[in-house]
Structure formats: structure tokens, C-alpha cells
Chains A and B, each alone.
Chain A
Amino acid sequence: MTRGHRAVHRVLWPLLAAIVAFGLTMALTLRPPPEDPGAPAPATEAQPK
């Protein structure tokens, strides 16, 4: 890689890693609690993931 590519690489990676790590942590923190196993099953099909 050229020096320019390496410079972009070194800026892009930590920035992207920080954004994604923050998003991942938030998504994990705000995740809804597990459903009560005794609760009735939902009437409709769950969405595909």
C-alpha cells in the first residue's frame, strides 16, 4: 500500500471501530429482556433476521 493508503487506513479503522463498538454496546444494553417462557406464543410469524 502507498503511504497515503496506510494513512487513510489508520484513520478510518479506529474511527469505524469506535462507532461500531459504541453501536454494538448500545444494542446490547438496550436489548429487550428475554420473554417469559410461560407466556403464550405470538399469533404471527416472527420476522426473518
Chain B
Amino acid sequence: MSAGFQAVQWNARKLVYDGVLLAAVALFIGSYILIEARITPPDNALAWIDLRINACGVCAFIMLTIILSIGPLARLDPRFLPLLYNRRHFGVTMFFVACLHAAFMIEWFLARGALPELWTELTTMADYAKFIGFPFKTLGLAALAILFLLAATSHDFWLAFLTPRVWKGLHMLLYVAYGLVVMHVALGVMQDDCRVLVPLLLGGSFGIVTLLHVLAAWRERAGDRGTSHEGWIAVGPPASIPDKCAHIIAAPNGERIAVFRDGDQIGALTNLCAHQNGPLGEGRVIDGCVTCPWHGYQYRLEDGCAPPPFTERLVTYAVRLRDGIVEVDPNPLPPGTKAAIRVAAA
């Protein structure tokens, strides 16, 4: 949170996450090289470099596929939320694996003393008019440039500097990078490797990522339809809001409001966490504070303020109990305004 600055705020969960991640990457690349070398033993130094290029490329592609699947998976099933917790480290690790893939490719040309050939391949403009024969390495380099931008701005400093709204918009470029990577593989290795495994893995991964996003978006569509009237919005009897959890409603402008109940206290906060605009209403009340499911940022239910020494404040909404029904005024109050109410034991 915002008290004091540390380059990276490490904790036990992050260390475990990163440890498992690095071990899995090393295991995958090592296993790939060993298995491929056993199936098709490399007969010269260039073939060994080729093997390393492929191992890192496949690893980076699988990592990118997993990263893009985490978001919709967490929306479809909260059991996947722990994967989302440190997704940025996953992304930065994937960028470094992709850099290794590119570095080994340059090493391959250097080993042959043919670096100018790479330059010629990238700058032969006539090839850009072709479909089969398109300089696919350019697609990979474009994706790598986007990944560099995203990795470089992944730190919380950039999140605060750019604001969560701009930062999130910028990081949607990852989808463009994924598209470029899929076409990099389709026009590259898939054209030379005639095994059915390549299009199967490529198409399968792309299909799974697309399907997950479509399913998650479909499920969320109803939540974006705001109410048609401008007045107080009925939520339901207090007991209809699960204790320590929220009922999410949509304001007339479509923005979401999280109505939490903590025992006999009911309060309404914006559904957007101040950190990364995470879905606060999908979190829980932990230690008396509303806790974001993404990275654990906490806010008091009564006024939307983070507990001291932290300084984040959320927009709150007026709440009332009318004829036994909880109602919320969709007009936002200034961040940090006390607005929660107490009701008879729910």
C-alpha cells in the first residue's frame, strides 16, 4: 500500500509464488531440451542453439497463454485468484524468457557469421507484401517491444504515476502482443515443421484463451446493465447480503457499487480498488476491513479509507434501510465519506 517506498514489497506469498514460477520455468526448459535432444539428437553446435531457441520460445508462449487465462479464470472461479496475486512477476519472467529466445536467435546467426542475413531478412520490403514468406521475426520483435513496455511499467511506481485507469488501458496491449506472437509462430515454425502438434498446440492455446474470455465476458454482461431510474437502488433485505461479503449492483451509468455487510454494519463502496481497479466486491471483510481479492488492499467499510498508516480512500455511497430493504443512493460521495449504517441483527 502507499506508506513508505520499497522497490518491491516482498512477502512470504510472493516469494513462494516466484520460487514455484522460476522452478517451473527451469524444469520446462530443461525437460524440453533433454526430451528433444533424445528424440532428434543435435549433430552440431547450430542444432543445439536451435534447440534452445525452440525451448525458450515454447516456454514463453505457454507462459503468455497462462497469463492471459488467469484473468478470466479468476472471474469464472475464485479458486484461481491466488494465481492472479503476483501475475506481474509472471509477466516479467515471461518477458525475460522471450528475451532469451531472441538472444539465442541472434547467437545462431552470429555462430554462422551471418548477422547481415538477419538484417536483410528484416529489411527486405518486398517480403512484407507476402503472406507466406512474411518476415515473421518482425512480428516477434514487435511483440517483444510491447512486452518490454509492459514489463518496464509493471512496477507500482508506474501504476501510481500513470493512474490505474491509464495503466490498465496500456496493459491491454498484451492482447495485441499475443496476436503478434500467434502469427509469429504461424508464419514461422508452423510453415517448416510439418508435425500436426504445432498447429494443434497453437490453435488449441489460442482457442482456450478466446473461449475463456468470451465466457467471462458473457457472464459479466448482466452486471453492466445499470438501472434505468435515477433514484435509490433497492439491494434487498440485509440478510440477503452474505455476512463479510458483498452484493454488487450497477449505478445508472453502469459503474459498479459493492454493498458489503459486516455483521450489523452495511456500507456501499465503489467496486474499483484504488490500487489496480480490482473488483473489490468480489473480496471479503477480513480483520474488519474490506479486502481486495487481487492484491489484498484493505479499506474500512464505514468510510472507504485504508487503515493507518495507509492513505488510499475510496468513493462511498449513502445507504438506508427502508421497509426492511437496503437501498443505495447511486450518487457517489467524496472519497472517505462516512456512509455505512447499522441495522438490527441481520
Chain A residues within CB distance 8 Å of chain B: 1-6, 8-10, 12-14, 16-17, 19-21, 23-24, 26-28, 30-32, 34-35, 45-49
Contacts and interface: CB of A to CB of B under 8 A. Distances in A.
Contact of A3 (B190, B213, B255): B255
B183 A5 contact: no
A31 B188 CA distance: 10
Interface SS of A by simple majority:
helix
23 contacts: A1-B279, A2-B165, A5-B169, A5-B172, A9-B172, A13-B213, A13-B217, A21-B206, A23-B186, A24-B199, A24-B202, A27-B131, A27-B190, A28-B186, A28-B190, A31-B191, A35-B194, A48-B50, A48-B108, A48-B109, A49-B188, A49-B189, A49-B193
B183 A20 contact: yes
Interface SS of B by simple majority:
helix
Interface string B173-210: 00110110011001111111110000100110010001
Contact of B46 (A5, A6, A9, A45): A45
A24 B203 contact: yes
B179 A49 contact: no
Contact of B192 (A4, A6, A30, A49): A49
A24 B255 contact: no
Contacts of B186: 23-24, 27-28
Given A6-B224, A16-B175, A23-B183, A30 B46 contact: no
Contacts of B188: 49
B49 interface: yes
B127 interface: no
B259 to A, nearest CB: 17
A48 to B, nearest CB: 4
A16 B176 contact: yes
A22 B192 CA distance: 20
A45 B172 contact: no
A16 B191 contact: no
Given A2-B165, A12-B172, A34 B183 contact: no
